[in-house]
Amino acid sequence: MMEKDKLRKADIFSGSLIALFGLWVVSQALKMPMKDSWGGVQNVWFVSPALFPLFVGAMITLLGAFLIRTALKAVGRAGLRDVLGWLASRELANYLRSAANLRFYAMLVLLFSYVFMAIPRVDFFACSVLFLMAFISMFYFDDDALLKKLFGCYLALTAGLLLFFIFGLPQTLEATLPYAGDWLTLACIGIYGLFTWRSIRSIPPLRKKYRLSLILAFAAPFSIGPIFKYFLLVPMPTEGLIVAAMDAIWYWDF
Amino acid sequence: MMIFDRIGDFFGIVVSIAADPINLAILFGSVLLGIMFGAMPGLTSTLGVALLTALTYGMDTSLAMVCLLAIYVGGTYGGSYASILINIPGTAAAAATALDGYPLACKGEGGRAIGLTTTASAIGTSISMLFVVSISPIISHFALQFTSFEFFLLAFFGILISGTLTSPDLVIKGWIAGFLGLFLACVGRDLLQFYPRFTFGYTELDSGVEVVPVLIGAFGIPQIIQVLRDRFAIGETQKLQRIIPEIGMVIRNIPAIVRSALIGVGIGAVPGIGEDIAGWVSYGTAKNTARNPDDFGKGELKGVLASETANNACVGGAMIPLLNLGIPGSPPAAMLLGALMLHGVQPGPMITFEHPTFIMEVAAILLLASMAMFVSGMLLAKQVVKVLRIPTQIFMPIIGMLCIIGSYSLGLNIFNLYLMLPVGIICYFLTQMGYPIAPLVIGVILGPMADENLRRALMVSQGSFLPIFQRPVSLILFVIIVWTVVSQFEWFRNAKRAALQKILNRKGSCEATLEENESETP
């Protein structure tokens, strides 16, 4: 959480966003049937589906407005001017480029690429290894310069994978190369692993960390995944090359 | 006679659960996992319950409850390890324990402190279990008289009080968080007319937002981001000596233990208020009532005893509104509610009719979990504290993966992930700006109850709000809600102070006149 003074300044903006959001909720609720007929039922205001969202939206708007008022009372007009000045200054750019924010962006890219791009399209085990390998190595080395370098590499690989899926190449290649997306992800794991090794090989303490991050990146999905897949009978989000290989082993008729 | 029958039934259930080796294995395994979750700073018992919910999806309800309650009890207790040994609370619940626990560890009495927390936590959980058994039938019976207006007001009160008491900054932010939760609960087809609200044409949203993935996102993702963004590092661990149960100390402090347990149960029973507040209130009370309050903060065993008894007693306290009213008493209890709904159990006043032995089973599991916690704490604490050596940068990414596979496995729906991640990111920003997450979660859970009951009540009264003032329970709830809201305003506090002053002045002048009269009479 921020300091009190900064919080009050931030409250002006969060309060505004919340009040606007509340107004949007009210505007959407007003489009719902209030006294019209819906599904053959003639509505009255007190059973309307709009009633509760209207109440919630109105309360959010009201509380957002109260928050703005409280914040303005605490920081005054001068405080508001400071905030607006800060938003227009170079300090904002410096803040956005800070090491802490770089770590935040790295996490966002890692999580969003894993959830929105990889999980629905790539074999669960392959994409989880790539995700964990990148995530653990970026943060475990505890070096912002290295994190920037590794993040750049991961970003490039993710962009490549994204283009591969956007252009529908897995479907095009399906006949000649089954599980093309999975193979490409495995290649990305290899490239990322090599790139990381090249970046840290001259620093002995990081070599140990590299080995550990590699071991964990493989061990975690391959110990948690089978519990869900074979013991709890939960199918993986996407079952591709690795799951097929595991199935072949698990259901092997000895 | 009925009381003896109930006691007999209760011990029958305890024996039947304990007699099954699978139950015992799961009980001890979950308690141990909970202790590890609680011990690792950055991981919480709520997250532990959330992640384990995914694994218990395929189990039968009673086995799932063994698993989830055991991890909840273990997680609440486990937080004390990090508090005592590295001065960083493993969970918020153990924050007060650090004040005296760490100085004790620095003096070379870490083993003694952990022994005491283990004993105090086990006693706290056991006492709270007694309240679950004894109070539940009364509350359940009372709640059967509730009509839709009462349920609406109760849900609304739960959100408001949770927002009021859990907000780390302005109270208004807690209320905003609660209403944001209520908005999330509005998404989907409404329960009375099946009208699609805020679904934007996505059929996946027709049944509303899935509670458990939202909870996993709300509690898991902000934790991961916060720990890694701020480069949170675990400090050096103090040495741990032989762990002693401190039975003598416990016997000498029975009144203090009972008081702390009562505080824990009472705070736990208030909707949405977690173990952390119970720990602080109990610690503050112990300090204020102590003969030597200056010793607190310098390694006073009574401080450790007070906070640990209360935070574990809160577990049982949180079960009381959860089971009887369907209102979670704490964030992990909110997760438990989600898990219960997944298993087809709808907590509320009807639970004693639909599942007659369920409350007894929960109480029995609490008792067994406290025993398992005591045994594990005494025998395995030295091994468990080794988890404190694992760097956060290693386990947080793995927790991230667990959050994702856990959210997916509940319903086998990738859409849950699309919901979980943005909710998690939004919750991270909210946390950074001083908005509490517990009211948001309580809002998501109680939203459907509030919505449905408000409209049903108005349908019965033909749009009139008058029944609120005609029924005693709803009137009391209404007055409490109004009081909770207006007591936050400066003008109200000033008016209250002025009125009190006036009364005191009048009393003072009356007494002065009486004294004068007495002195004048010969």
Span B397-434, pLDDT tens digits: 998 898 888 888 877 888 989 999 999 999 999 999 98
Q: What is the pLDDT of residues B254-283, one digit of tens each?
A: 888 999 999 998 888 887 677 888 888 888
CB contact under 8 A, B455 and A14: no
| Res. B522: pLDDT tops 50 | no
Q: Which residues contact A71 (CB under 8 A, 6 or more apart)?
A: A8, A9, A11, A12, A15
Banded model confidence at residue B1, pLDDT cuts 50, 70, 90: low
Flag whether pLDDT at B521 surpasses 60. no
Note the helical H segments in A141-240.
144-166, 169-173, 180-200, 204-226
| Contact by Cβ (8 Å): A127, A118 | yes
Whether the per-residue pLDDT at B314 is higher than 60: the answer is: yes
- Residue B235 clears pLDDT 70, i.e. is over it: no
- The pLDDT, as a whole number, for residue A39 is 67
Query: What do you get for the CA distance between the two ends of chain A, in Å?
Result: 58
Q: Do A128 and B172 touch (CB under 8 A)?
A: no
- Which regions in chain A score pLDDT beneath 70? 1-2, 38-39, 41, 253-254
- 3-state class (DSSP) for residue B151: helix
Q: How confident is the model at residue B129 (pLDDT cuts 50, 70, 90)?
A: confident
Residue for token pair 């082993």: A249
Per DSSP, the residues of B484-507 read HHHTTSHHHHHHHHHHHHHHHHHH
Q: Which residues of A touch B418 (CB under 8 A)?
A: 115-116
Q: How confident is the model over B460-494, as pLDDT tens digits?
A: 888 889 988 988 889 998 999 999 898 888 888 88
Read off the pLDDT of residues B340-399 as tens digits, 9 standing for 90 and up.
888 888 888 888 888 888 888 999 999 999 999 999 988 888 887 777 778 888 888 998
Q: Under an 8 A CB cutoff, do A115 and B230 touch?
A: no
Question: How many CB atoms lie under 10 A from the CB of residue A235?
Answer: 13
A219 at the B interface (CB within 8 A)?
no
Please indicate whether residue A9 or residue B520 has the higher confidence score (pLDDT): A9
Ordered by start, the domain boundaries in chain B are: 2-488
**Mean pLDDT, chain B, whole residue set:** 85
B243 pLDDT more than 80:
no
Residue of A nearest to B54 (CA): A228
**pLDDT number for residue B2:** 66
Summarize pLDDT for A103-143 with one digit per residue, the tens. Answer: 999 999 999 999 999 999 999 999 999 999 999 999 999 88
Between B492 and B1, the more confident residue is B492
CB < 8 Å to A102, chain B: none
For B61-114, the pLDDT digits (tens) are: 889 999 999 999 998 888 888 888 877 777 777 888 888 888 888 888 888 888
Task: Count other C-beta atoms under 10 Å from residue B508's C-beta.
Answer: 10
pTM recorded for the entire structure:
0.84
Q: Which one of B56, B164, B393, B407 makes the best mutation probe of the A interface by having the most chain A beta carbons within 10 Å?
A: B393
Weakest-pLDDT range from B62-66, B238-242, B243-247: B238-242
